[in-house]
Structure 1
Amino acid sequence: MRSGLGLFLLGLASLVAAKDGRGRGDDDSYYGGGGDGDASGTSSAAASSPSATGAAASDATNSTSGLTGGSKCVGSYMCISGVINGSTVQYTMQSNGKANLGWMALGFGTQMANTPMVIMWPNSDGKITLSQRKAPGEVMPTVDSSPARVASADAAASDLSGTQPKLTFTIPSDGTTKPKLIWAFGTTNPNSNAVDASLEQHIESAATTLDLSQPISSGNSTADPVSDPNAAGGSDSTPLLPFQKMIVAHALLCTIGFLILLPAGALLARYARTFTSGWFQGHWIFQFAIAAPVIISGVAVGIAAVSSAGAMHLDDDHKRWGVAIFVIYFIQCAVGAIIHWIKPTSWTVRKKRPAQNYFHAILGIIVIGLAFFQVRNGYNEEWTSVSGRPPISNAANIVWYVWVVLVPVLYLAGLAFLPKQLRQERPTPKAPSEEYSLRPSYADEPRYSDRG
């Protein structure tokens, strides 16, 4: 009897112990104890260091049923993931190690203007700063004093070790399983734990959509999006925003005007002037009658794009050089008109080419050369910087390299006609009798027979 009672008490104690162990497991949060950020503020600096690895959080995620989420690699330098857990969403931003991590950001919208953003960066003391910000346009965002959804840094799920650091935060869910997001990656650390620290411009950014409806299982690695096979090769097909469409129109119009019509007019003048006297008409039609409306339209659309995006005018080299080239183009057109309509005596009498003719030719070459530089800077740097879209395909580089070689080669080949042109412009020698008959006579000059 006593032994039976002892076995009963032993079994009861074992049952209580087992239940207590399961109870602690059920009480543990998916987020590994929750974020250390101040949830009552709009932005916060994490109060403790992130976990050394975050593997425990990953294992907890992969073994927890009922959760949904998804991962995606965006751009060239980072991957993102999100997990819906009831009324909150945990987002992870992870560097793939291709560039030094300065800061990473996620915004909840389709464009930079007026989109609430969560920006995070590591500090030298091993802690993390989370800053919620907004921007009126394509400018540095500033701290949002009253965000609609307050985010908090999740230090336990973050990991600053290794070559692929990750930053994690939680935020109340907005009820959607396919949020529209913007993201950015910067390589320059603010070197400050202040939530309003200045940020150097990102090296890459874009808009994307993240599918958070996929069930979390052992095959998902949402806690480490870089290692999630489902995140690789993600592509974005987000429609262009109005200001982005304006940028595309600006690029096309200015490329056609400066790199097609102007070189065509210059080549026509170089080749046709030795064969027909009507070369000038074709030259000015290309250079001004057709090119000017195209170029003016392109510049106007570019200015409108900057205004539509809420960005600043003339705040970078591309914009400043664009205005300079635009002005030089019209100076070139004015010089061409002066050369055609105002003929100096050195040309009309002695057929000696005036200095403004050489200036016009050299200035034209400079305009086209600067335009080549400007177009490449536009699609290679300015597009990703101001549009927030992925880089332009390398096909643009190939076309640019072919064209930047072909145009000068064609122009230099046309210089073979220069000796013929100079011979045609040389004054025609006159016979002595013709020269004598053309000498002017003066009424007050005495006749030879009257001299004595």
Structure 2
Amino acid sequence: MVGSSAVVGWASNGKGMVKQYYLGGKSPDECPANKGLLKLIKNKAVVVSRSDRLYLAFQLSTDYPQPHLIYAVGPEDNLPYGRSLQLPVHRNMASHSFNYTSGIASNAGRAGDGTFPRERQHGLLAMMGWGVLMPIGMMTARYFRQLDPCWFYSHMAIQVTGFAVGIAAVVLGFRINAGGLKNVDVHKSIGIAVLAMASLQVMAILARPDKTSKVRRFWNWYHHNIGRAAILLAIGNVFLGLSIAQEVSAYVVSYGVFVAVWVVAVAAFEVKRCYADDD
């Protein structure tokens, strides 16, 4: 929740109060009132207490409302206090994913229940299958041909494993409720394109001509370039997915480090190939 904005409502002595807070940390001092990133419409917020229940309503101005909502309940008999209206630590919370198109809300779990969100499962599978195994498999085929035939079987095993993991990611992706998120359609389109290219690569093995065939060079051109395009699209789509999900920086940094190491390794091997060709 750190870095988010919250709309907080409470009632005291028959009077309702609604304030926006910026959740800059985990202590009351780091959560100032009347701050936040939400564009609330003035005079369009109300809080009503009825039969031990508190009802809060407000109007938000946004083109792309976030579908992930977190509800928190403060401690009993401990309302925001002081001139700064500091927030006490909440005693319970839950979260939902809300589809603004269909009006359907799905339970995203409670804090501390040990659940692993489907969105994160999809992201990790896609990252591992399309964004890690496929680039590594490409390197085995391009830079380790001197280890014949080990390079071929290694290349096949890595790419088939990556393809299977990527398929699982795609299946999970289509089951995610992502209504209202910006760039989701672009992310899906790129993902489908990567899936199509990877499928063509797998099917190309069945039509692989003999090394002495005249059409072998055309097959090589197709296989190599479709593979490169798929890898570049996959890497870009992984970063796009991390951005859409607003994932924690550890995932972004970790994958960024992998991509950086992969790029440096590819560059080093290409330089080595150039010198080997000159010799």
Give TM-score scaled by structure 1 length: 0.46
Instruction: Give me the whole-angstrom Cα distance separating, in 1, the residues matched to 2:9 and 2:82.
Output: 11
Are 2:174 and 1:303 aligned?
yes
Are 2:203 and 1:334 aligned?
yes
Match of residue 132, structure 2, among 245, 256, 260? 260
Match of residue 346, structure 1, among 214, 217, 223? 214
Could you tell which deviates more after superposition, 413-422 or 265-274? 413-422
Match of residue 108, structure 2, among 228, 231, 241? 241
Instruction: Give me the whole-angstrom Cα distance separating, in 1, the residues matched to 2:268 and 2:58.
Output: 49
Tell me the equivalent position of 1:412: 267
Give TM-score scaled by structure 2 length: 0.71
2:248 alignment partner, SS class = coil
* 1:70-115 deviation line (CA, Å, top 9, x unaligned): xxxx66463433223478864434675565x533xxxxxxxxxxxx
Deviation at 1:207, TM superposition (A): 0.7
Q: Does the 8 Å CA contact 1:265/1:286 hold for their aligned counterparts?
A: yes
Q: 1:90 to 1:373 in 2, by over 3 A?
A: same
Q: How many positions carry a matched residue from both structures?
A: 250
Tell me the equivalent position of 1:169: 46
Q: 1:278 to 1:76 in 2, by over 3 A?
A: closer
Deviation at 1:323, TM superposition (A): 1.4
1:241 alignment partner, SS class = strand
Q: Which runs of 5+ in 1 are unaligned?
A: 1-73, 104-120, 123-127, 131-167, 189-199, 222-226, 348-352, 384-390, 424-452
Tell me the equivalent position of 2:31: none
Match of residue 230, structure 1, among 69, 76, 87? 87
Matches within 5 A, 1:268-279: 268-279=140-151
Tell me the equivalent position of 2:164: 293
1:92 alignment partner, SS class = strand
Q: Does the 8 Å CA contact 1:344/1:354 hold for their aligned counterparts?
A: no
Match of residue 257, structure 2, among 399, 402, 416? 402
Q: Does the 8 Å CA contact 2:143/2:269 hold for their aligned counterparts?
A: yes
Q: 1:402 to 1:98 in 2, by over 3 A?
A: same
Matched AA of 2:213? T
Q: Which runs of 5+ in 2 are unaligned?
A: 23-33, 96-106, 110-114
Instruction: Give me the whole-angstrom Cα distance separating, in 1, the residues matched to 2:90 and 2:144.
Output: 53
Root-mean-square deviation (Å)? 4.0
Q: Does the 8 Å CA contact 2:20/2:35 hold for their aligned counterparts?
A: no
Instruction: Give me the whole-angstrom Cα distance separating, in 2, the residues matched to 1:204 and 1:236.
Output: 20
Instruction: Give me the whole-angstrom Cα distance separating, in 2, the residues matched to 1:183 and 1:296.
Output: 41
Matched AA of 2:266? Y
Deviation at 1:254, TM superposition (A): 0.9
2:48 alignment partner, SS class = strand
Tell me the equivalent position of 2:27: none
Instruction: Give me the whole-angstrom Cα distance separating, in 2, the residues matched to 1:275 and 1:294.
Output: 26
Q: 1:102 to 1:81 in 2, by over 3 A?
A: closer
Tell me the equivalent position of 2:220: 357
* 1:361-396 deviation line (CA, Å, top 9, x unaligned): 222222111111111111222x2xxxxxxx422222
Q: Does the 8 Å CA contact 1:84/1:173 hold for their aligned counterparts?
A: no
Q: Which has the higher contact order (CA 8 A, sep 6+)?
A: 1
Instruction: Give me the whole-angstrom Cα distance separating, in 1, the residues matched to 2:57 and 2:254.
Output: 30
Instruction: Give me the whole-angstrom Cα distance separating, in 2, the residues matched to 1:356 and 1:182.
Output: 62
Instruction: Give me the whole-angstrom Cα distance separating, in 2, the residues matched to 1:421 and 1:277.
Output: 22
Matched AA of 1:211? G
Instruction: Give me the whole-angstrom Cα distance separating, in 2, the residues matched to 1:235 and 1:407.
Output: 45
Tell me the equivalent position of 1:224: none
Q: Does the 8 Å CA contact 2:126/2:169 hold for their aligned counterparts?
A: yes
Match of residue 71, structure 2, among 208, 213, 233? 208
Tell me the equivalent position of 2:5: 78
Q: 1:422 to 1:258 in 2, by over 3 A?
A: farther
Instruction: Give me the whole-angstrom Cα distance separating, in 1, the residues matched to 2:49 and 2:93.
Output: 26
Instruction: Give me the whole-angstrom Cα distance separating, in 2, the residues matched to 1:202 and 1:85.
Output: 30
Q: Does the 8 Å CA contact 1:325/1:370 hold for their aligned counterparts?
A: yes
Tell me the equivalent position of 1:35: none
Tell me which structure has the larger Cα radius of gyration.
Answer: 1
Instruction: Give me the whole-angstrom Cα distance separating, in 2, the residues matched to 1:236 and 1:252.
Output: 29
Deviation at 1:283, TM superposition (A): 0.8
The percentage of aligned residue pairs carrying the same residue is: 19
Q: Does the 8 Å CA contact 2:127/2:238 hold for their aligned counterparts?
A: yes
Matched AA of 1:230? L
Q: Does the 8 Å CA contact 2:73/2:91 hold for their aligned counterparts?
A: no
Deviation at 1:256, TM superposition (A): 0.9
Matches within 5 A, 1:96-175: 96-97=34-35, 99=37, 102-103=39-40, 121-122=41-42, 128=43, 130=44, 168-173=45-50, 175=52
2:214 alignment partner, SS class = helix
